[in-house]
Structure 1
Amino acid sequence: MPRRLPAADGKPPAVTAPQFVGRARQLTAIREAVSRPPAIVLVEGEAGIGKSRLLQQWSATVAPPADGPPSGGGTTSGGRVLTSVCPPLRESHTLGPVVDAFRGIEVRAADLGLTGLAGALRPLFPEWAAGLPPAPEPLDDARAARHRLFRALDELLRALDVGVLVLEDAHWADEVTLEFLLFLAARLPDGGPNLVVSYRLDEIGPGSLLLRLMSRLPAGVTQTRIVLPPLAQEETASLVSSMLGGSPVSDEFAAFLHDRTDGLPVAVEESVRLMCDRRDIAFREGEWTRVRLSELLVPPTVRDCTRERIARMSPEAQSVLRAVATLGEPSPEATIARTADLAPPASRAGLAEAAGAAVLTDDGEGLWQYRHGLAAAAVHESIAPSDRRILHRRAGEAVENHRPTPAARLARHFREAGETARWVRYAERAAEQAVASGDHTAAVVQLDDLLATADLSPADLARIARNAALAALSRRDPVDAVYHRLVATLRTVLGDPALSGRQQAEIRNPLGRLLILGGEATAALGELEQAAAGLDHDPIEAARAMTYLGWAYAGPWPAPVHLRWLQRAALITDQIASPADRLNLAGNRAAALLMLGEEEAWDIIADLPHDGATSAERLDLARIHANVGTGALIWGRYADAERHLAVATRLADAEQAGRLRYNVEIERANLDWLTGRWDGLAERSAVLADADRDRPTTHLAGIRLSARLAAATGRRRTAAEQFQRVLDEAERLGAIDDTMEPAAALARLRLVAGDGRGALRVTDRPLEALRRKGVWVWGTDLVPARVEAHLATGDLRAAQRLVGQFARGLRGRTAPGPRAALATCRAHLAAAAGEHTRAAAAYARAARAWAVLPRPYETALAHERQAEALRAAERADQGRRLLAEQYESLFRLGAKGDAERVARRLRELGADVPRPWRGGRRGYGDQLSPREIEVVRLVTTGKTNREISRILAKSPATVDQQLRAAMRKLKVASRTALAVVAVEAGLLGEEGPGAGLS
Structure 2
Amino acid sequence: MAAPAFVGRAAELAALQRALAQGPAIVLVEGEAGVGKSRLLREFLGSPAGREHRSLVAWCPPFREPYTLGPVVDAVRQATGRIGGLRLSGLAGALRPLFPEWADELPPAPDPPEDARAARHLLFRALAEVLDRLRVSVLAVEDVHWADEATLEFLLFLAARHPPPASLVVTYRANDVPPGSLLLRLSARLPAGAEGLRLAVGPLDVARTGALVSSMLDDEPVSPALATLLQQHTDGIPLAVEESVRLLHDRADLTRRDGAWVRRRRTELDVPPTVRDAVLERVARLSGPARAVLRAAAVLSVPADEATLGAVAAGPPPRPGGPAGGPAGGPAGGPADRPAEGLAEALACGLLREDGGQLSFRHALACRAVYEAIPAPDRRAAHLRAGRALAVRTPLPVSQLARHFREAGDATTWMRYAERAADLALAAADESGAASLLYDLLTHPRLAAYDAARLVAKMPFSSFTGDRRFKEMVRALRAALDAGTMSPEQAAETRCQLARVLLVMEEFEAARHEMIKAVAHLPPGSHSAARMMAYLGWPRESSTPVATHLRWLRRAAGVAASLPPLDRMGLLVERVTALLMLGEEEGWTEASRLCGDPAGPDEARHLGKGRLNLGDAAVRWGRYTEAAGHLAAAEAIAERHGFRRYPGIIQATRTHLDWFTGRWRGLAGRAAALADDDEIQPVTRLEAVLVAGLLDAAAGDPGAAGRFEHVLAEARRRGAAELVAEPAAALCRLLLARGAVGEALLVTDEPVRQVADKGVWLWAADLVPARTQALVAAGRVDEAAGLVAAFAGWVRGRPAPAPRAGLALSRAILAEARVGPVAAAAAFARAADAWQRLPRPYDALLAQERRVACLLAAGAAEEALPLARKVAQELGDLGARSAAERVAGLLRDHRVEVRGRGRRGYGDELSPRELKVVRLLATGMTNREIAVVLSRSPKTVAAQVNSAMRKLGVRSRTALAVSAVESGLVS
**Bucket of the pairwise TM-score, normalised by the shorter protein:** 0.5 to 0.7
Q: Does 1:626 align with 2:612?
A: yes
* Cα distance change on mapping 1:771 and 1:324 into 2, 3 Å: same
Local SS of the residue matching 2:240: strand
Report the Cα offset of residue 557 of structure 1. Answer: 3.0
Report the Cα offset of residue 597 of structure 1. Answer: 0.6
Residue in structure 2 matching 1:559, options 530, 534, 546: 546
* Cα distance change on mapping 1:632 and 1:912 into 2, 3 Å: same
Alignment-mate amino acid for residue 453 of structure 1: R
Q: Residues 370-393 of structure 1: CA distance to partner in whole angstroms, max 9, x if unpaired? A: 998788547579xxxxxx9x9987
Q: Residues 440-466 of structure 1: CA distance to partner in whole angstroms, max 9, x if unpaired? A: 55324421244x224x384x4543354
Report the Cα offset of residue 516 of structure 1. Answer: 1.9
Q: Quote the RMSD (CA, aligned, Å).
A: 5.8
Counterparts of 2:655 and 2:718 in 1: how far apart (Å)?
22
Q: Residues 878-916 of structure 1: CA distance to partner in whole angstroms, max 9, x if unpaired? A: 4445434433443444433212211211222x2524536
Q: Residues 527-550 of structure 1: CA distance to partner in whole angstroms, max 9, x if unpaired? A: 233444455486444433322222
Q: Name 1:839's counterpart in structure 2.
A: 824
Residue in structure 2 matching 1:524, options 487, 511, 514: 511
Q: Residues 328-352 of structure 1: CA distance to partner in whole angstroms, max 9, x if unpaired? A: 9899998899899xxx7xx677889
* Cα distance change on mapping 1:356 and 1:408 into 2, 3 Å: farther
* Cα distance change on mapping 1:396 and 1:523 into 2, 3 Å: same
Alignment-mate amino acid for residue 331 of structure 2: A
Give unpaired runs (5+ residues) of structure 2. Answer: 1-32, 44-61, 63-142, 147-170, 180-197, 213-222, 264-269, 323-328, 337-341, 353-358, 362-366, 904-971
Asked if structure 2 preserves the Cα contact closer than 8 Å seen for 1:547 and 1:569, the reply is: yes
Local SS of the residue matching 1:717: coil
Asked if structure 2 preserves the Cα contact closer than 8 Å seen for 1:207 and 1:694, the reply is: no
Q: Name 1:741's counterpart in structure 2.
A: 726
* Cα distance change on mapping 1:29 and 1:794 into 2, 3 Å: farther
Residue in structure 2 matching 1:357, options 305, 317, 331: 331
Correspondence list, 1:288-327, <5 A: none
Local SS of the residue matching 1:598: coil
Local SS of the residue matching 1:504: helix
Q: Does 1:907 align with 2:892?
A: yes
Report the Cα offset of residue 813 of structure 1. Answer: 3.1
Q: Name 2:857's counterpart in structure 1.
A: 872
Correspondence list, 1:23-62, <5 A: 32=38
Q: Residues 616-653 of structure 1: CA distance to partner in whole angstroms, max 9, x if unpaired? A: 44554343233223212212233443444454455556
Local SS of the residue matching 2:743: helix
Q: Name 1:637's counterpart in structure 2.
A: 623
Q: Name 1:850's counterpart in structure 2.
A: 835
Q: Name 2:174's counterpart in structure 1.
A: 64
Report the Cα offset of residue 706 of structure 1. Answer: 3.8
Report the Cα offset of residue 180 of structure 1. Answer: 7.6
Give the count of matched residue pairs.
676
Q: Name 2:413's counterpart in structure 1.
A: 422
* Cα distance change on mapping 1:764 and 1:477 into 2, 3 Å: farther
The two structures have a TM-score, normalised by structure 1, of: 0.56
Q: Does 1:820 align with 2:805?
A: yes
Counterparts of 2:825 and 2:541 in 1: how far apart (Å)?
38
Asked if structure 1 preserves the Cα contact closer than 8 Å seen for 2:499 and 2:514, the reply is: yes
Counterparts of 2:591 and 2:882 in 1: how far apart (Å)?
40
Residue in structure 2 matching 1:605, options 581, 591, 596: 591
Give unpaired runs (5+ residues) of structure 1. Answer: 1-26, 38-49, 51-56, 70-75, 83-153, 166-177, 220-224, 230-238, 240-264, 271-315, 382-387, 920-998
* Cα distance change on mapping 1:216 and 1:597 into 2, 3 Å: closer
Residue in structure 2 matching 1:397, options 388, 391, 396: 388
Counterparts of 2:677 and 2:453 in 1: how far apart (Å)?
37
Report the Cα offset of residue 357 of structure 1. Answer: 2.7
* Cα distance change on mapping 1:201 and 1:911 into 2, 3 Å: closer
Report the Cα offset of residue 861 of structure 1. Answer: 1.7
Q: Name 2:446's counterpart in structure 1.
A: 453
* Cα distance change on mapping 1:825 and 1:77 into 2, 3 Å: farther
* Cα distance change on mapping 1:226 and 1:514 into 2, 3 Å: closer
Q: Name 2:433's counterpart in structure 1.
A: 439
Q: Does 1:770 align with 2:815?
A: no
Q: Name 2:474's counterpart in structure 1.
A: 487
Report the Cα offset of residue 758 of structure 1. Answer: 3.4
Q: Does 1:183 align with 2:228?
A: yes
Q: Name 1:121's counterpart in structure 2.
A: none
Asked if structure 1 preserves the Cα contact closer than 8 Å seen for 2:145 and 2:172, the reply is: yes
Moved more, 27-36 or 806-815: 27-36
Counterparts of 1:78 and 1:588 in 2: how far apart (Å)?
58
Alignment-mate amino acid for residue 730 of structure 2: A
Q: Residues 676-721 of structure 1: CA distance to partner in whole angstroms, max 9, x if unpaired? A: 4445655655665677765545555444444333332x33224345
Counterparts of 2:249 and 2:668 in 1: how far apart (Å)?
31
Counterparts of 1:780 and 1:430 in 2: how far apart (Å)?
49
Asked if structure 2 preserves the Cα contact closer than 8 Å seen for 1:186 and 1:218, the reply is: no
Local SS of the residue matching 1:742: helix
* Cα distance change on mapping 1:730 and 1:431 into 2, 3 Å: same
Local SS of the residue matching 2:467: coil
Asked if structure 2 preserves the Cα contact closer than 8 Å seen for 1:751 and 1:789, the reply is: yes
Q: Name 1:543's counterpart in structure 2.
A: 530
Counterparts of 1:441 and 1:464 in 2: how far apart (Å)?
10
Asked if structure 2 preserves the Cα contact closer than 8 Å seen for 1:522 and 1:556, the reply is: no
* Cα distance change on mapping 1:356 and 1:761 into 2, 3 Å: same
* Cα distance change on mapping 1:741 and 1:218 into 2, 3 Å: closer
Asked if structure 2 preserves the Cα contact closer than 8 Å seen for 1:573 and 1:585, the reply is: yes
* Cα distance change on mapping 1:704 and 1:79 into 2, 3 Å: farther
* Cα distance change on mapping 1:407 and 1:77 into 2, 3 Å: farther
Counterparts of 2:385 and 2:597 in 1: how far apart (Å)?
53
Q: Residues 122-170 of structure 1: CA distance to partner in whole angstroms, max 9, x if unpaired? A: xxxxxxxxxxxxxxxxxxxxxxxxxxxxxxxx8xx99xx99999xxxxx
Report the Cα offset of residue 353 of structure 1. Answer: 12
Counterparts of 1:686 and 1:428 in 2: how far apart (Å)?
39
Counterparts of 1:867 and 1:833 in 2: how far apart (Å)?
18
Local SS of the residue matching 2:702: helix
Residue in structure 1 matching 2:871, options 886, 889, 913: 886
Counterparts of 2:673 and 2:782 in 1: how far apart (Å)?
45
Asked if structure 1 preserves the Cα contact closer than 8 Å seen for 2:452 and 2:494, the reply is: no
Report the Cα offset of residue 68 of structure 1. Answer: 13
Correspondence list, 1:131-280, <5 A: 183-185=228-230, 194=238, 196=240, 217=261
* Cα distance change on mapping 1:207 and 1:813 into 2, 3 Å: farther
Q: Residues 12-53 of structure 1: CA distance to partner in whole angstroms, max 9, x if unpaired? A: xxxxxxxxxxxxxxx99976568899xxxxxxxxxxxx9xxx
Residue in structure 2 matching 1:673, options 627, 637, 659: 659
* Cα distance change on mapping 1:865 and 1:416 into 2, 3 Å: closer
Report the Cα offset of residue 744 of structure 1. Answer: 1.9
Alignment-mate amino acid for residue 428 of structure 1: E
Alignment-mate amino acid for residue 824 of structure 2: A
Counterparts of 1:417 and 1:560 in 2: how far apart (Å)?
56
Correspondence list, 1:567-578, <5 A: 567-576=554-563, 578=565
Counterparts of 1:826 and 1:530 in 2: how far apart (Å)?
44
* Cα distance change on mapping 1:500 and 1:201 into 2, 3 Å: farther
Report the Cα offset of residue 66 of structure 1. Answer: 13
* Cα distance change on mapping 1:697 and 1:404 into 2, 3 Å: farther
Asked if structure 2 preserves the Cα contact closer than 8 Å seen for 1:414 and 1:420, the reply is: yes
Correspondence list, 1:962-977, <5 A: none
Q: Name 1:829's counterpart in structure 2.
A: 814
Residue in structure 2 matching 1:499, options 482, 486, 493: 486
Asked if structure 2 preserves the Cα contact closer than 8 Å seen for 1:777 and 1:818, the reply is: yes
Asked if structure 2 preserves the Cα contact closer than 8 Å seen for 1:440 and 1:475, the reply is: no
